[in-house]
Amino acid sequence: MIIRPMTMNDLDQVAQIESESFLLPWTLDHFKYEINDNPFAFIFVAEQEQEILGFIDFWIMFEQATINQIATKTVYRRRRIGEMILNDALGRMKDGSAEQVTLEVRISNQIAYNFYIKHGFALVLEKENYYEDGENAYFMVKKL
Ligand SMILES: CC(C)(COP(=O)(O)OP(=O)(O)OC[C@H]1O[C@@H](n2cnc3c(N)ncnc32)[C@H](O)[C@@H]1OP(=O)(O)O)[C@@H](O)C(=O)NCCC(=O)NCCS
């Protein structure tokens, strides 16, 4: 498995993972914006034999990094692919001189919450009505 920057050729596979992973999935235009236009965005995929197994989108804005999306293909979950993608991204954030990384996660998403706690994120506060459907988010932080 390799981890490499996402390209426009990966759009269909990544959008498929996105739609099976999130209640309010990003549109193709949103991914295109992240790949082509957003100067702060980094978007990486894990690939094996031309199959995309997972991806991550994060921003580095000076000393601050933010994870926006991370997902692995449903059939390959709990096989440490998420862990490899996250650890690779954390290394890139450090190399990019970020000092801390933050994220929001749905309070109902116990699996992702466990995943982040396992990797050293701390719960800082709860953001009310954070998502369009009204769900609250946990705001989590990790020092790099
Ligand atoms: C969160 C996610 C990326 C984890 O990816 P993954 O490849 O399945 O994760 P890993 O195999 O690396 O698991 C690492 C840790 O995550 C947690 N975890 C993963 N799956 C879990 C499950 N089914 N139940 C409980 N904890 C789980 C555990 O802490 C696990 O460590 P352990 O196996 O030693 O207990 C994946 O579940 C996913 O794509 N979820 C949908 C999208 C999402 O919610 N993204 C995060 C919000 S932005």
pLDDT of residue 49: 97
Distance 70 CA to ligand 1 centre (A): 10
| Residue 89 CB-density burial (10 A; 0-12 exposed, 13-18 middle, 19+ buried) | buried
Handedness of CA 100, 106, 108, 112 (dihedral sign): negative
Q: Region 52-80: what's the mean pLDDT?
A: 97
Going by DSSP bridges, is the β-strand pair 2-5/41-48 parallel, antiparallel, or unpaired? Answer: antiparallel
Residue 109 CB less than 6 A away from ligand 1:
yes
Give the model's confidence band at 55: pLDDT under 50 very low, under 70 low, under 90 confident, else very high.
very high
**pLDDT tens digits, one per residue of 79-103:** 999 999 999 999 999 999 999 999 9
**Is 64 within 8 Å of 100 (Cβ atoms)?**
yes
pTM to 2 decimal places: 0.97
Residue 122 CB less than 6 A away from ligand 1:
no
Residue 16 CB less than 6 A away from ligand 1:
no
CATH architecture of 2-101: 3-Layer(aba) Sandwich (3.40)
Any bridge partners for residue 71, and if so which?
A: 55
Residue nearest to atom 27 of ligand 1 (CA): 111
- Domain ranges (residues) in the chain: 2-101
